[in-house]
Structure 1
């Protein structure tokens, strides 16, 4: 069980491009370096007691946990100015009390997800997929984490890279613009075999 033993923690809310999400930044570490975990629903949060507790707020629809922040997505028309104090106080109290963030190290889950995504690929496709994964991890991930989200590799097939949108990136109005004008251009430039980047479950890019 991974716990946080800090006794004095500061938490502040930070807006991001997704109006339905809010990033809560802490003065302590929640997840190991280079690890982030996305929980789109309560059922997926079995490894995170913190995420499970956040889903107890009936307006919480998604929880994303990274190194020193939690991104919460809401499913209500109630404005954030009314919700932030309750969530900020809960997160602060929970972490200061030493509540467990994860039951098991989430780094293993993340590594397994990457392995599963490339398990059936062979030869050139496997090499291309690993290049894409490395670019997403090293160049894209740090940038999108600033906005409280993440974009991860799902598959590669005949030039098309499929990614998963996580945290604030999921459902964000500007995510498709970032996907096409930023990430797709980067991958095409660095990996010539890539012809297109799409997000799973998103078909309308406004193009």
Structure 2
């Protein structure tokens, strides 16, 4: 089995492509070792001690190294865990009863005004069709959180969270695109 790696705009994060689907639907962001307890794979990656974030995309895993950790030393360990996991066809998440299911708390949404429903639908459509695919190419995801008085609130995940270029991406890329197609948008903010 061959797992390809790609750099991301975030120098602390590498994107790993196992050549098969990782998530059948949606994405999952693990920002802490406690979050990672739901997944044997994420838990093992955090267990290395030098990992501060794991993100599962449709066909990739993004791993963020701790500050001061160099990828040449960490990459072989991450690849070893990924190879073992995918070669053994291990489950991505731990099984559990309904009582044991723990869904991570979502960041606060900014409550959309029902009068803005048409604008919100346009914004969500642009995010799904134009923005999310581009952000996924960089090893991350973007989640719509709300629209209020011309401001669009978005949450960056995976390689995009904490990336030095994420504010430029939001302002120069996403904000310009949304303003162009949806004149009611005046600003885009990260949450």
Aligned position for 1:73: 64
Q: Which runs of 5+ in 2 are unaligned?
A: 96-102
**Deviation of 1:103 (Å):** 4.4
Q: Does 1:124 align with 2:124?
A: no
Aligned position for 1:189: 180
Aligned position for 1:22: 14
Report the number of matched residues: 184
CA distance in 2, matches of 1:143, 1:121: 25
SS in 2 for 1:93: helix
CA distance in 2, matches of 1:197, 1:160: 6
> TM-score, normalised to structure 1's length?
0.80
**Deviation of 1:73 (Å):** 0.5
Taking structure 1 as reference, are residues 137 and 103 closer, same or farther at Cα in structure 2, changes over 3 Å only? farther
For residues 20-69 of structure 1, the C-alpha deviation after alignment (integer angstroms, 9 at most, x for no partner) is 10111111111115x22211112233543321221111111011101111
Taking structure 1 as reference, are residues 146 and 99 closer, same or farther at Cα in structure 2, changes over 3 Å only? same
> TM-score, normalised to structure 2's length?
0.87
Aligned position for 2:190: 199
SS in 1 for 2:143: strand
Q: Which contiguous aligned blocks of 4+ residues in structure 1 show a shift greater than 6 angstroms?
A: none
1:101 to 88, 92, 96: 92
